[in-house]
Structure 1
Amino acid sequence: MPHLEINLDELLIGESVWRNLRFSCERLNIGRQSIDCDAGQLQLAGKHLPVSLQLFLRQKKIVLTIEPARREKWHLAVAWRPEGWQSSLRIVNGQGRRLAGLLPQYAAWPQLRQARINGTIGLSGRETLLTEWAAKLAITELSFSDAEGLRAGEDVHLQLEADAQRKQQGSWQWRGQLAWLAGGVFWQPFYFTGGGHRLAVSGTSNGQSLRIERGELALSGIGQVAFSGEVERPALALRQARLRAENLEMAALFKSIIQPLAAETAWAETEASGRAGFSWHYQDTGQQSLLLDLQDVTLIDTRERFSFEGLVANIPWQSNGRSTGTIRLEHGQILRIPLGSVHFSLETEGMHFSVPYVELPVLDGKVVVENFNASRQATDWQWQFNGRLFPVSMEKLTEALQIQPMFGTLSGIIPKMNYAASVMTMEGVLVFNLFDGVVVARNLVLTEPLSRTPHLTMDMAMHHIDLDLLTRAYSFGRIQGRVDVEVSDLELVNWEPVRFDASLASSPGRYKRRISQAAIQNLTALGGASAMPAIQRRLLSFFEQFRYAEIGWRCRLRGSVCQMGGIEPASSNERGYVLVKGSGVPAITITGYNRQVDWPELIKRLEHAIKSGSPIIH
């Protein structure tokens, strides 16, 4: 029985190189019209595969069938004609893992793990020149991954149709359609699931470039993006590109694309709705432009820190030109504080953005922001602004914040604020009016304001604060008078205090100094069970109000422990400190004895005292 063995050290097909191929047939049937091998073996990529071979001499055609497993078939037919050759590969339930050893093995690329392939691939050419190819494939159960686990796909189902023709001077005209029907793909930081995503693309390519003349990406639940572009080969450098989309669904767009890019910021916990569109043009010579269009967009923070509704924007941008856009907001809220309708212009010039002036209604007042400027420096954004706060009712503000009512108005001047490298700082001092007094903030540093754990440090002073405006609405009790407050080394983590040195003292000057019976009882509880002598406690039942000479309180907070103090030490035979120094007849003096207090528990019980009028503080 004739025996056939073919060994190929290297086989070049297009740009693919296969090495060490070996075909052997122990039982070769030679006839006048054909040569047949029913039980051959092919050694390919280190694997041995059963093969049947038919060579039709007159037709100049070879048929190769590989059936490596039950119900799996790879059927290759190649025919030679004077005008050229043609081949077709028909795949039935092909296992993709058999191709893993034939595909390029680049460390940076995900590697094929598994796939089931059905369909056909056709090629034709002249001599060693490939002139045309076409493929129609259904790929199911596709899985792939890279070594780091940053890119992976699982149970992906695809349908692919593509073809290409060689034109003059070695260029190719090609087109393709890809439908992603099922499965999930993680491509750090994005995760997508199939469900009707489609890609249609056509273009040309040669040894110097790949040109996409027309492309359309349809993302299920989001919308369609049209694109074109050119990539330089072999470096894959982008020469030019155009993208255009209209009426994209913001809810799915935000969840799938924007949120993964904004991890560890407030945007990662934001829900969106509305419509968006854009048009982008890129040229490697430096010419770039972008037009962003937002229609009736709503952004809501799931932790209720902010919300913006009815956002409409039309923002044009050029890399080397000046443009003016518009932004309109129907209403919103920040920390439950309602914002009114606002409309302003945004000026852009390269990577510099500015808003000269904008008025933002806040309750019954407004915030004016002036000289807002933002620019991109290296890899970080920098911006700055200054402004003013026009009188806002404290009663309306505390109602919006859902805290105990306060009276008076809040207004002030906002100095120049700077933001760079995720840190906001303040030039000068922040001054505003509160409770008929003046509040001054200095040395403000706010780190990562949009993260989940913002960090704030500052110093603050409050001068001549009207205690009557501050306490008149509280069950805690009413106090008339004026106080000065100093808070240094204030440190907040996620808006909770972890460190400060604070002192409160009566303001100098002449003014009415009165304290109610309820306030005395609550301050007595702050100082401990023995904060007031028994004879003074009996006087509380006869008088509604008492005079005082001074009020004072100090707290040195470290972590969760407050080291407390007062106006001065108590008398020499006592270990306490004076919180209220009495005046007149009868004189009421309140002395504190709790030197170390758990801060969270203190706040909790103070809130209980304010709401119920019945303190339980030990």
Structure 2
Amino acid sequence: MPCRASPWGPLGGQFSAAVLQIGGNASAWLRMQGQGPGWLNLNWRSVAGRWTAQAQGDLQVAPLLAGAGFLPKGWQAQGQGALTARAAGARWAQADHVALHLQGQGLGFSNAAGLRAAQDVQLEMAAAGSRGKTWSGTAQLRWRKGAVLWSPWYWSAPAAQPVSSRLRWQLGARDLRLTAWQIIWPGLGTASATARIPRGGGAARWTVEHADLAAGPFYATWVKPLAAAGGLAADLQAQGSLHFSLDWQGGLQAISWQIGDAGLQDAQKRIAIQGLASQGRWAAQGPAAQASLAWHAAELYRLPVGPVDGRFLLAGKGFSLLHPVQIVLLGGSLRVQQLDGNWSGPRAGFRLAGALQNANLTALATAFHWPPFTGRVAAVIPELRYAQGNLETSGVLSAQAFGGNVLVQDLRIRNLLGAFPILTADVRMRGLQLKPLTEAFHFGFISGVLDGDVHDLRLLNWRPDAFSARFYTVRSPGVAQQISQAAVQNLTRLGGGNGLSGFFQTLFLRMFKTFRYAHLGLGVILHNNVAELSGVGREDKGFVILQGEGLPRVDVVGYNPRVGWSELLARLATAMHSGAQVKTGE
């Protein structure tokens, strides 16, 4: 019985039937086969008014789906499936029992863009149902082999044990309901869920009643693909356990969670958290609920951060800190007075305000591999606002260090947690004591009071890219302005030459260990990796960095006002490590 006009191409088959009027008995057998779709045997029998049908076949997926019109335009499919099916009923047009078993081998698909694809998938599916007032039944699925790409996600079947799922289902006049749904994913965890899918359209409701997951695989497989490339979230690694339940209908409606003994870190050491724990509940509608966030220890850009135990209030569109939090930081404390935010709309982000108290400069210098500064620092943090990856302040960030004040204005950081953050600000320094500042370097001894201004500062990936700066000493009652022989020599190196004019100045430098000075200062304008230097005055064709006072008098003059930024840094490094530190004026 050949058929050449089928949607699957030429088909061949055999058919036989027997009908017995007495008692209503009848039977039929049909075998269809073709080079494209494969083969299928169908047996049908009716006894005493009740019929049963059985099907068995070995089918090729691609021509079967394409011929039935199930394959979207531009998609390709491959693989084969061994099918066994059974159905039964009391009437010709109605079935009251169905059962299906399918084993798929080498299954795959891909769309035209290649962003949704599967390769070498092996799975087993079984489903059964019966009809009472409504249809109900069970279904099982085992995924044993292969990989699936559903951009941005990529899943690969575990090698040791299959991913398995089983559920109960009920098909009513209005919806399809999935109940007692259990999912076991080796290496990831387990979950139980329900779903309600309307038959006439509308948003489906999905409920994860309970999920117990390993935080590391869950973050790597399900969360990280959603992160922007090059950002902090895309580089994070997670550890620990995660338990949650959620409700989803056209969007997330509610979620409860518990995180225990977890950790976060990224390869670039921007953040590292140990002993992370959190629990709470959030709902899109209804009253606000409380949540907690705590950790044992953390590092932020290599700064050690002490234990944290915060309590928050979560509402539909935002959160707020219930009580101020005191955090051990750099031997002092960071008091977070305000922390609130929202996660909806174009300005989704957070606001923070607080103060840093009695922080140890030595600890700060050690964390950033700076010279060993000494002393304490305090700072007032105005309202910082973070939105869309950018951080800015509405006020002036003020700090006290080295006996003076440092004010940071118009602070903005774009792409804060991205691959190339950009910082811009203006910095004003007043009354810094040079003695404790220079004691941190192998630069030589300088006493006095330093002021400074840095305009249009721009850091690209935390490295200077452009600025206009001027640093200069100011006279202060009771503070001597003295400089050591070693410091004079290093200022000379910084200026790019010997910078000392005259036989007597060179002789004085050999004979005396300290000198008085009237003015000391340096201006630097950085642009396109070139630094333009200036001083506190001009002399002939040069610029005066140090203007001596009294006898013996020593001046330091620079004669090369334009120098490459890397060369200037090299000079500074040479000056800082050129020899033993000299202290005077104790």
Structure 1 length-normalised TM:
0.86
Deviation of 1:207 (Å)? 4.1
Counterpart selection for 2:217 from 242, 248, 252:
252
* Structure 1 residue 51 corresponds to structure 2 residue 13: yes
Could you give the per-residue CA deviations for residues 99-119 of structure 1, whole angstroms, max 9, x where no partner exists? 131344575x98451012123
1:184-223 maps to which residues of 2 (within 5 A)? Answer: 184-195=147-158, 196-223=162-189
Could you give the per-residue CA deviations for residues 248-268 of structure 1, whole angstroms, max 9, x where no partner exists? 111111111121122332121
* Distance of aligned partners of 1:121 and 1:55 in 2 relative to their CA distance in 1, 3 Å threshold: same
Deviation of 1:202 (Å)? 1.5
* Structure 1 residue 467 corresponds to structure 2 residue 434: yes
Contact 1:154 1:183 in 2 (8 A): yes
Instruction: Return the alpha-carbon distance in structure 2 between the equivalents of residues 201 and 597 of structure 1.
Output: 73
Could you give the per-residue CA deviations for residues 404-425 of structure 1, whole angstroms, max 9, x where no partner exists? 1001111111011122333222
**Aligned counterpart, 1:523:** 491
| Matched letter for residue 419 of structure 1 | Y
* Structure 1 residue 377 corresponds to structure 2 residue 344: yes
* Structure 1 residue 83 corresponds to structure 2 residue 49: yes
**Partner SS for 2:537:** coil
| Matched letter for residue 85 of structure 2 | I
Deviation of 1:503 (Å)? 1.0
Deviation of 1:84 (Å)? 4.5
* Consecutive unaligned residues in structure 2, runs of 5 or more: 581-586
**Partner SS for 2:538:** coil
| Matched letter for residue 438 of structure 2 | T
Deviation of 1:81 (Å)? 4.6
Instruction: Return the alpha-carbon distance in structure 2 between the equivalents of residues 202 and 281 of structure 1.
Output: 19
Counterpart selection for 2:536 from 542, 547, 567:
567
* Distance of aligned partners of 1:123 and 1:43 in 2 relative to their CA distance in 1, 3 Å threshold: farther
Deviation of 1:353 (Å)? 0.8
* Structure 1 residue 174 corresponds to structure 2 residue 137: yes
* Structure 1 residue 491 corresponds to structure 2 residue 454: no
**Aligned counterpart, 2:260:** 295
| Matched letter for residue 422 of structure 1 | G
**Aligned counterpart, 1:137:** 102
Contact 1:549 1:582 in 2 (8 A): yes
Could you give the per-residue CA deviations for residues 428-474 of structure 1, whole angstroms, max 9, x where no partner exists? 11111111110001111122212112222111111111121111121
1:515-594 maps to which residues of 2 (within 5 A)? Answer: 515-533=483-501, 535=503, 536-571=505-540, 574=541, 576-594=542-560
Could you give the per-residue CA deviations for residues 472-526 of structure 1, whole angstroms, max 9, x where no partner exists? 1212223221111111111122212211111111124332112222222222122
Contact 1:105 1:111 in 2 (8 A): no
Structure 1 window deviating more from structure 2 (73-82 vs 541-550): it is 73-82
**Aligned counterpart, 1:28:** none
Structure 1 window deviating more from structure 2 (602-611 vs 560-569): it is 602-611
**Partner SS for 2:10:** strand
**Aligned counterpart, 1:35:** none
Instruction: Return the alpha-carbon distance in structure 2 between the equivalents of residues 569 and 89 of structure 1.
Output: 100
**Aligned counterpart, 2:296:** 330
Deviation of 1:529 (Å)? 2.2
Q: Which of the pair is proportionally richer in strand?
A: 1
Could you give the per-residue CA deviations for residues 290-341 of structure 1, whole angstroms, max 9, x where no partner exists? 2110101111121111211111111122331122222221111112221112
Instruction: Return the alpha-carbon distance in structure 2 between the equivalents of residues 103 and 462 of structure 1.
Output: 77
Instruction: Return the alpha-carbon distance in structure 1 between the equivalents of residues 115 and 558 of structure 2.
Output: 60
**Aligned counterpart, 2:410:** 443
Contact 1:123 1:133 in 2 (8 A): yes
Contact 1:323 1:349 in 2 (8 A): yes
Deviation of 1:221 (Å)? 0.8
* Consecutive unaligned residues in structure 1, runs of 5 or more: 1-24, 26-39
Instruction: Return the alpha-carbon distance in structure 1 between the equivalents of residues 319 and 55 of structure 2.
Output: 57
Counterpart selection for 1:389 from 341, 349, 356:
356
**Aligned counterpart, 1:122:** 86
Instruction: Return the alpha-carbon distance in structure 1 between the equivalents of residues 168 and 74 of structure 2.
Output: 25
* Structure 1 residue 100 corresponds to structure 2 residue 62: no
Instruction: Return the alpha-carbon distance in structure 1 between the equivalents of residues 312 and 85 of structure 2.
Output: 54
Counterpart selection for 2:245 from 279, 290, 295:
279
**Aligned counterpart, 1:10:** none
| Matched letter for residue 53 of structure 1 | F
Structure 1 window deviating more from structure 2 (383-392 vs 492-501): it is 492-501
Instruction: Return the alpha-carbon distance in structure 1 between the equivalents of residues 208 and 113 of structure 2.
Output: 31
| Matched letter for residue 330 of structure 1 | H
**Partner SS for 1:237:** coil
Could you give the per-residue CA deviations for residues 166-210 of structure 1, whole angstroms, max 9, x where no partner exists? 332xx3213211111111111111111012221212121234211
Deviation of 1:278 (Å)? 0.8
Counterpart selection for 2:28 from 48, 62, 70:
62
| Matched letter for residue 565 of structure 1 | S
Q: Greater relative contact order: 1 or 2 (C-alpha under 8 angstroms, separation 6 or more)? A: 2
Structure 2 length-normalised TM:
0.91
What is the aligned length?
567
Deviation of 1:594 (Å)? 2.4
* Distance of aligned partners of 1:89 and 1:611 in 2 relative to their CA distance in 1, 3 Å threshold: farther
Contact 2:7 2:68 in 1 (8 A): no
Instruction: Return the alpha-carbon distance in structure 2 between the equivalents of residues 135 and 112 of structure 1.
Output: 25
Deviation of 1:161 (Å)? 0.9
Deviation of 1:589 (Å)? 1.2
Instruction: Return the alpha-carbon distance in structure 2 between the equivalents of residues 81 and 120 of structure 1.
Output: 22
Contact 2:493 2:571 in 1 (8 A): no
**Partner SS for 1:477:** coil
Could you give the per-residue CA deviations for residues 235-285 of structure 1, whole angstroms, max 9, x where no partner exists? 2512x432133541111111111211223321211111111111223568x
**Partner SS for 1:519:** helix
RMSD of aligned alpha carbons: 2.4
Instruction: Return the alpha-carbon distance in structure 1 between the equivalents of residues 34 and 252 of structure 2.
Output: 55
Instruction: Return the alpha-carbon distance in structure 1 between the equivalents of residues 426 and 16 of structure 2.
Output: 90
